[in-house]
Structure 1
Amino acid sequence: MVNEVDARWLLVSVTTAGAASSLRMQVWRKLKGLGALYLQQSVCLLPDRPAVATALAELRERVRTDGGRMRVVHVEIADGGELGELAAEMTAAIDEEYAEVLERLPSFFAELEMESGRGRAVFAEVEESEADLERFRSWVAKIEARDYFRAPRGEEVRAELERAATALAAFESAALERET
């Protein structure tokens, strides 16, 4: 759902010509990590949110220090149709990221099932599975940080992560029973 707050955006323009070659990649990674919607090369939009503005101010300082130029302009999207299209485009990209998580989570469940079937519900497997689940949680947290318009698959991913935590707890209980 798009509201009045969502009408405020940040237009970002970056030039890294003459700067260290690694700067361009660093800037791109940071902007994509924030969920930037590129309009053309080196020009993107982001919703005007406090955390985004802070991250951009830090990035702008780094770009300038490293010999590049970066401008951040506050804009308001007055056209509701355009605003809806921008939000929909960003939401679709986030939904694809959530879909990838949903594609990969079944392997977590399959691994727990396979190890249980082999009678290998042991401490080492619990640790490995905990690390796997933590990687999923970390990945989802990064996606959620740029999910400005609540992509539809977000709730499904959170429910699957909860189901994964429950499955891991059961696996851990089996390992405890086995080893004590």
Structure 2
Amino acid sequence: MTPEPGWLVVSVSTAGAPDSLRVQVWRKLRSLGALYLQQSVCLLPARPPVVQEIRRLTIRIRHQGGTVRVLSMTFTDPGEEQAVITDFNTARDSEYAEVLQRLPQLRQELADEQARGNATYAEVEESEADLQRFRSWLDKISARDYFGAPAGRAAREAVEEAAAELAAFEEAALRAENPGAGR
């Protein structure tokens, strides 16, 4: 029995297919974290969930008139494979950095609202929705973080710190709206 190949090379052409297919393909490959080798040719690790998603995408592409080739491959040079893994991690670190860059706005908003004495249930709901968007965003990045990009841990910790700050804000809102509660 031969070992499972480590990588998938995916080559796609949407020429002659509906224009919307190009966007669908791009979005799906982007959501999987594909590393483009050149235009319309990308590389992905051959992990079971990735293989399954590529099979589904292949069916959609062919059904809508596009062409696709999916090839299994292994690297002959371990250094080259490590360079590709580094490229994957760099891409994920960039995404995690964006989370880390935007998260302080949520935390500052909580601090500002509390300083203004505006700890209300409405503010809690709004901030919970913001926090959920960050968690969802982080989940999407983590799903394509195949090799444990270094910035992932800091991003997860920062989101949890924001969650703790939101919990404290919620306590303040509860006390503000129910001054006699908890006594």
TM superposition score category, shorter chain reference? over 0.9
Contact 1:7 1:83 in 2 (8 A): no
Contact 1:6 1:47 in 2 (8 A): no
Mapping for residues 1-20 of structure 1, pairs under 5 Å = 8-20=6-18
How far 1:72 moved relative to its partner? 1.0
Distance 1:85 1:6, change over 3 A: farther
How far 1:78 moved relative to its partner? 2.4
* Residue of structure 1 equivalent to 2:58: 60
CA RMSD of aligned residues (A): 1.3
* Residue of structure 1 equivalent to 2:158: 160
**Aligned residue among 77, 80, 86 for 2:78:** 80
Length-normalised TM-score, structure 2: 0.94
- 1:114 paired with 2:137, answer no
- Number of residue pairs matched? 176
Contact 2:121 2:170 in 1 (8 A): yes
Unpaired runs of at least 5, structure 2: 179-183
How far 1:6 moved relative to its partner? 10
Contact 2:5 2:72 in 1 (8 A): no
Identity of aligned residues (%): 57
Mapping for residues 135-174 of structure 1, pairs under 5 Å = 135-174=133-172
* Residue of structure 2 equivalent to 1:27: 25
Which amino acid in structure 2 is aligned with residue 36 of structure 1? A
Mapping for residues 88-127 of structure 1, pairs under 5 Å = 88-127=86-125
Once residues 155 and 39 of structure 2 are traced to their aligned partners in structure 1, the CA distance between those partners, rounded to angstroms, is 32
> Deviations 1:43-76 (Å, cap 9, x if unpaired)?
0000000000010011111111111011111111
Which amino acid in structure 1 is aligned with residue 76 of structure 2? A
Unpaired runs of at least 5, structure 1: none
Once residues 131 and 77 of structure 2 are traced to their aligned partners in structure 1, the CA distance between those partners, rounded to angstroms, is 42
> Deviations 1:93-145 (Å, cap 9, x if unpaired)?
11010001000010011000010011110000000000000000000000001
Structure 1 consecutive aligned stretches of length 4 or more whose deviation exceeds 6 Å: none
Contact 1:13 1:43 in 2 (8 A): yes
